[in-house]
Each structure stands twice: as C-alpha cells, then as structure tokens.
C-alpha cells in the first residue's frame, strides 16, 4: 500500500519534490497540495491530487497519511504543530523554523506526542560523497579530525528576495548541520568576517567567512559566496592528524576544445544534490509508512537556528559569539533506523 502524501508549498523545491514523489520513487503517492498562491498549487498538482485552500484542511484530511512542507520558513511552525497535533509524519524543508523559541515549541509538541514525527530537509546527510567522507573519518584511519573546510557557492540568488541576513540564516545552516553530523560534535561558538563585497550582489553582504567552534576543539571554516556566476560549487575537506579526506569532484564529461580541457559543474542545488534528495525521501517514506521519522531531527533544526542567530550577532560584534543550548530531550538521542 502506498503512502498518501500532501505537499504544502508548491514553489521551486515543492515542485521538484512532487516530481520525485510522483516520477522517481515508489511506495508513495501525492494526493493533496496547497499553496497560498492557489494557481501555483493547481498547476503543480499531479493528476488526481486534491487542491486544498488551507494547510490545515490538507493536514487534517483523512486521505492524507503524511505531509511534506515546502513553504517559506516563517510558515513552518504553525504547519509543523498542526501535523504533530494530527499525529502525522512530516518532512519539513530547512529551515525548520526561524527562531530558537519557535524550535523549542515544536520540540515540546513532538516530545509530548512521545514519538518522532518530524524529519528536517538537511539533504547533504543523504549524499553518497558525504556518507563516504564520514565512513573514512569514523574508521579512525586518519586519526582525529582537527579542522574542516566547507565551501558553499551559489551561482546567483534571487535579487530582492534573498537578503543580507540569508547567507547566515538560510545558506549556512547546511554547512553547520553537515559539520555537526560529520564530526558527531556540537557547535559552541561562531565568528564571522565580512570581506570585500562582490559587486554582483549589489548591496548584499556577500561573501562571508564563518568560523564554527566545535565542542571538541575542531574548527570549521565556511566560505559562503552566493553570486559566483560560474555554478553551484560545494566543497568539503577534513584535515585529520595523519591525512586529509575531501569530497571528490562530481563526475562530468571531460570536454577538450579550443578553450581548453574542462568539466561542467552543477547549475544549482537541484542538480548537485539530485540523488541525495531522492535518498532523503526514500528513507522518509520508509519511516513515515511506519508512522514515525528518522534522519535529521527537530533538535538538529533547533541547533541550526542557534547557529544562524549567533552568526548574525557575530557580524555586529566582530567577536566569538557563544551558543547556549537547552538540555537535549531524550527523544532526540535515540538512534532509529528503518531500512529504505
């Protein structure tokens, strides 16, 4: 029997996830959609799917087993709380929510429900290259990790919609989450340096250099540049005691012509992480079909809001901004695995 899914938010990534849920993956069916822009919901709805006027009606519909939230960050809390109140598994795109207080409210609701229902859209954890990098690190063959370098470059961002805070509260969350996951460590403080601005972003604060201080003493440096023109370039390199482990270049045809020898690079996140998103949903479908969630947790979403807030404070202070966390609820310490 297939999992009947409702999708809230049918913009860029909502449409891409509807495509993978209807054309790529099995054991799942998109039966409902909603968007504040009704025309967008109608044109994105797969054949036979019902278009709902409100997220609440979609969430509470008895034909909907599980929900995928792809609306804007500020809308996530209300929609997540409604899913938890209905006892339905929910995949929520990053950011989980947009403040630590809001993340705590979602955690409290899930903890009170007594079982995990929320998976957050940190897709890098499902990427085969990142998984191989973690296997090398965890084998201990290179000794302890000392430093990690994460590079996050976007070709461009939508002018007017992507604002100066977003490199730190929208884009950095991926680098912060993957660092925590790879190193199995928590972030305790954040520093930010703002170099010369790229003229391609007009007044946008771009690029930014971020230093994440991990509780083990490992330092992660993150370069975020969101207007590099040439493509979507994601890099990662771990420096350990006796060696280096790095993400490989993506496989691409090697072209030789009058301009030289070159390989294409992905245009955007949809292309770079296409298999990671597929695997992320394979694992979500398996867990949601069993009435629960695995993968990135509400706690992981909470910590990323703390990192974003600290990074924004660090821009103003120019100093190391410490991160203070609440005690981690036991619900988020248990390792749950469901084969996908």
Residues that bind ligand ISE (CB under 6 A): 94, 154, 170-171, 174, 269
Q: Which two tokens stand for residue 34?
A: 């909603």
* Residue of the chain from 18, 35, 103, 293 that contacts ligand NAD (CB under 6 A): 35
* Residue of the chain from 11, 46, 231, 329 that contacts ligand NAD (CB under 6 A): 11
Q: Which two tokens stand for residue 24?
A: 């790529």
Does the protein bind ligand NAD through residue 14 (CB under 6 A)? yes
- The entry of ligand ISE, ligand NAD, none that residue 284 binds, CB within 5 to 8 Å by partner kind: none
Residue 94: C-alpha distances to residues 75, 77, 119, 254, 317 (Å): 12, 12, 10, 34, 26
Q: Give min distance, CB of 256 to ligand NAD, in A.
A: 33
Q: Which two tokens stand for residue 254?
A: 């090697």
Task: For residue 277, give the nearest of 8, 2, 13 by alpha carbon.
Answer: 13
Does the protein bind ligand NAD through residue 73 (CB under 6 A)? yes
DSSP 37: S
- Cα separation, 88 vs 79, whole angstroms: 11
Q: Give min distance, CB of 196 to ligand NAD, in A.
A: 27
- The entry of ligand ISE, ligand NAD, none that residue 52 binds, CB within 5 to 8 Å by partner kind: none
With respect to ligand NAD, which residue has the nearer C-beta, 36 or 136? 36
CB atoms within 10 A of CB 98: 19
Does the protein bind ligand NAD through residue 10 (CB under 6 A)? yes
With respect to ligand NAD, which residue has the nearer C-beta, 146 or 274? 274
- Cα separation, 220 vs 190, whole angstroms: 10
- The entry of ligand ISE, ligand NAD, none that residue 34 binds, CB within 5 to 8 Å by partner kind: ligand NAD
- Cα separation, 248 vs 198, whole angstroms: 27
Does the protein bind ligand NAD through residue 301 (CB under 6 A)? no
Number of residues that bind ligand NAD (CB under 6 A): 24
- Cα separation, 93 vs 88, whole angstroms: 16
* Residue of the chain from 77, 90, 106, 121 that contacts ligand NAD (CB under 6 A): 121
Residue 266 buriedness (CB in 10 A; 0-12 / 13-18 / 19+) = middle
* Residue of the chain from 2, 24, 27, 37 that contacts ligand NAD (CB under 6 A): 37
Q: Give min distance, CB of 298 to ligand NAD, in A.
A: 15
User: Which neighbouring-strand residues pair with 147?
Assistant: 219, 239
Binding-site ranges for ligand NAD (CB under 6 A): 8-14, 34-37, 40, 55, 70-73, 75, 93-94, 121, 123, 170, 269
């Amino acid at each position: 029997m297939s999992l009947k899914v409702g999708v809230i938010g049918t913009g860029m990534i909502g449409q891409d996830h509807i495509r993978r849920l209807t054309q790529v993956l099995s054991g799942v069916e998109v039966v409902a959609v909603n968007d504040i822009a009704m025309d967008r919901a109608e044109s994105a709805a797969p054949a036979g799917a019902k278009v709902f006027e409100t997220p609440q009606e979609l969430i509470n519909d008895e034909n909907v087993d599980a929900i995928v939230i792809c609306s804007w960050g500020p809308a996530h809390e209300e929609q997540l709380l409604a899913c938890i109140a209905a006892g339905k598994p929910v995949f929520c795109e990053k950011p989980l929510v947009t403040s630590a207080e809001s993340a705590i409210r979602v955690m409290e609701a899930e903890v009170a429900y007594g079982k995990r229902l929320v998976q957050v859209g940190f897709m890098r954890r499902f990427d085969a290259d990142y998984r191989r990098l973690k296997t090398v690190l965890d084998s201990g063959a290179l000794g302890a990790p000392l430093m990690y370098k994460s590079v996050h470059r976007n070709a461009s961002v939508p002018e007017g919609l992507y604002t100066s805070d977003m490199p730190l509260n929208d884009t950095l969350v991926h680098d912060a989450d993957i660092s925590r996951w790879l190193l199995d460590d928590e972030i305790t403080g954040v520093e930010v340096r703002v170099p010369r601005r790229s003229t391609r972003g007009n007044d946008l604060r771009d690029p930014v250099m971020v230093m994440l201080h991990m509780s083990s003493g490992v330092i992660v440096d993150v370069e975020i540049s969101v207007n590099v023109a040439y493509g979507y370039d994601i890099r990662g390199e771990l420096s350990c005691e006796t060696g280096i482990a790095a993400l490989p270049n993506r496989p691409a045809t090697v072209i030789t012509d009058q301009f030289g020898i070159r390989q294409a690079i992905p245009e955007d996140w949809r292309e770079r992480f296409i298999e990671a998103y597929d695997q992320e949903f394979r694992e979500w479908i398996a867990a949601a079909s069993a009435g629960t969630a695995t993968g990135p947790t509400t706690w992981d979403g909470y910590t990323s809001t703390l990192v974003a807030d600290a990074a924004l404070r660090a821009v103003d202070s120019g100093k190391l901004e410490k991160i203070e966390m609440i005690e981690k609820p036991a619900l988020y310490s248990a390792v749950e695995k469901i084969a996908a």
